[in-house]
Amino acid sequence: MGNVIGIGAAPKRKEDQRFLTGRGNYVSDIKRPGMAAGVFVRSPHGHAVLRLARYPAAGASRTPRVFR
Amino acid sequence: MQISFTLNGRPTTVDVEPATLVAELLREQLNLTGTHIGCDTSQCGACVVHLDGLPVKSCTLLAPALDGATLLTIEGLQGAPGSNLMHPMQEAFREHHGLQCGFCTPGMLMTAVALAAEKPDLTEAEVRHGLEGNICRCTGYQNIVVSVMAGAAAMNAAKGE
Ligand code: FES
Ligand code: FES
């Protein structure tokens, strides 16, 4: 198998070294100054009509750290 | 509170909230993001590190438990000291395609190294049983098992030298 080229070949992957040594960079590994965390709130009802969207509790919305 | 421990061979002192998980401490405070959090509920094994030589899920360990202990993370796993080589288990995973996206890989490696260190002549059944706490969504495990068997054999051979 060693000298197979193309289909059937098992070449060494270039990305493996960093994954094997803990140096991959996954989305959750990225840190930026002032970074916010995203939260999805989904409707618990199928085919519901959205009449009024109330954003997080009044207290939370007054906090400058909560974006919406 | 202040805790002191040996991290990947280096004496380390940090200030932590006592309720901090070791996985968080490593990733957020010490910027060692090789230890992954796949579930945060002790199921996936992506966060496995060695505490005093034993594999533990760092998402289920509180930072104060580190005080005075020795911790090894994927960043500290290496071949013969000073050689710049990867650990034989890491080499085996590369050689035998024991990874795809690589997310589960640090935990797989830490678990595998501990397994092989504890029992040099691992059987395939023992490897499969030993990896029960590590979930991989990519590989289907076949190549991981092959890699661990090969890595364990290589660790043994290196010991004999
Ligand atoms: S993050 Fe620790 S077991 Fe999944
Ligand atoms: S290689 Fe992707 S989860 Fe295991």
Q: What is the ipTM of this complex?
A: 0.93
More confident site: B92 or A55: B92
- Mean pLDDT for B61-89 is 94
Flag if A21 and B94 touch (Cβ within 8 Å): no
pLDDT of residue B83: 83
B113 pLDDT above the threshold of 60? yes
- Mean pLDDT for A48-66 is 61
Percentage of chain A surpassing pLDDT 70?
Answer: 72
- Its domain, for residue B103, covers 88-160
Number of A/B CB contacts below 8 angstroms equals 55
Q: Is residue B40 part of a domain?
A: yes
Tell me: do B92 and B67 sit in the same domain: no
Residues in chain B: 161
Q: Is residue B148 part of a domain?
A: yes
Tell me: do B153 and B100 sit in the same domain: yes
**Minimal Cβ distance to B86: which of A20, A29, A31:** A20
The count of other CB atoms within 10 Å of the CB of residue A40 is 4
Flag if A19 and B86 touch (Cβ within 8 Å): no
Residues in chain A: 68
> How many structural domains comprise chain B?
2
Tell me: do B70 and B102 sit in the same domain: no
Q: Best of A20, A25, A26 to disrupt the B interface by mutation (most B CBs within 10 Å)? A: A20
Flag if B99 and A26 touch (Cβ within 8 Å): no
Single pTM value for the model? 0.87
pLDDT of residue A10: 83
Are the C-beta atoms of residues B88 and B155 closer than 8 Å to each other? yes
Tell me: do B26 and B64 sit in the same domain: yes
